[in-house]
Amino acid sequence: MPSTIASGTKDFLTIGEWSATEIFDVLEKATVLKNQQKSGTQHKELEGKILGMIFEKSSTRTRVSFEAGMIQLGGNAIHLKSDDLQLGRGESVEDTAMVLSQYVDALMIRTFGHDIIQRFADAATVPVINGLTDMHHPTQVMADLLTIKEVKGGLQDVKVAYIGDGNNMAHSFIEGAAKTGLHLSIAAPVGYEPDKKIVAAGEQEAALTGGSVSITADPKEAVEHADVIVTDVWASMGQEEEQAARMGAFQGFQVNEDLCSYAKQDYTFMHCLPAHRGEEVTSQIIDGSHSVVFEEAQNRLHVQKAIMHYLLSGK
């Protein structure tokens, strides 16, 4: 992997901010680390390093995979709820970032507005990793890219159909497709499409990598001849008050056997979890033979280890 990035000078806030070379190098490192763990030969490459983890949104996979990953690499992780910090009493994001930078080697943040993590990264003097914001979920999509690569043998010329809300997952998938040459077709209800600026940038970059990004309001059009079908919950954390309206708007966007019949026979189903069976996906699909959702969840661990290794070792 490239060694031009010095420790403390690089963040991972969005996939779009990293080069295609960096994305592929991290995916390759994730595969190496995964194979090392399977063989029992993994090295403590981040021994003595400390990751601070700030959670303004609760988590299962993000919390456990980052903490376990850091421990497996020989380091340590500190779990910090926003209510436990002076952030909860009005200390500025910038002051908190500068102080914590003196205690830990990297910071992972799971929060609401993307501007918060951007401000944090601007003030911090250690690498900052986006564990999720309302606009982007890059660590999850990196795990998804690794899963697709494993299942389909690569990323070039693979068609991914993303069905549902044009949310943070859709945004990061657009950037991931643009960097890696995937063909991404997003089907979202009118009024719930992904951000137009992110779409435009993705379309432009995808044209250079051999991939494509398209948006439609017709799920069947998106799924036609798809190699991979991806979905997410219809109401994400913080949108609970919109649940009833979203249930109406997303009728017809459920991933079920009828919709999946338009995909290739050997299609793969993915979901970032948690899933609401009977809403965005049926049990027959998520618990069926085409589903790799738990392999996908496992890959959060390996990808995040690779990201931390890259940011903290520069290679």
- Flag whether 110 is marked binding: yes
Q: What does the pLDDT read at residue 244? A: 84
pLDDT in tens, 68-114: 999 999 999 999 987 788 875 788 999 999 999 999 999 999 999 99
- Flag whether 138 is marked binding: yes
Question: Which of 226, 109, 99 lies closest to 161 in space, CA to CA?
Answer: 226
- Flag whether 236 is marked binding: yes
* Amino acid type, 115: D
- Flag whether 237 is marked binding: yes
Could you list the active site residues? Answer: 110, 137, 140, 232, 272, 300
CA 302, 133, 217, 205 dihedral sign is: negative
What pTM does this model have? Answer: 0.94
- Flag whether 272 is marked binding: yes
Backbone angles phi, psi at 271, to 5 degrees: -155, 135
Which parts of the chain register pLDDT below 70? 1-9, 88, 237-239, 315
List CB contacts of 241: < 8 A, sequence separation 6 or more.
Answer: none
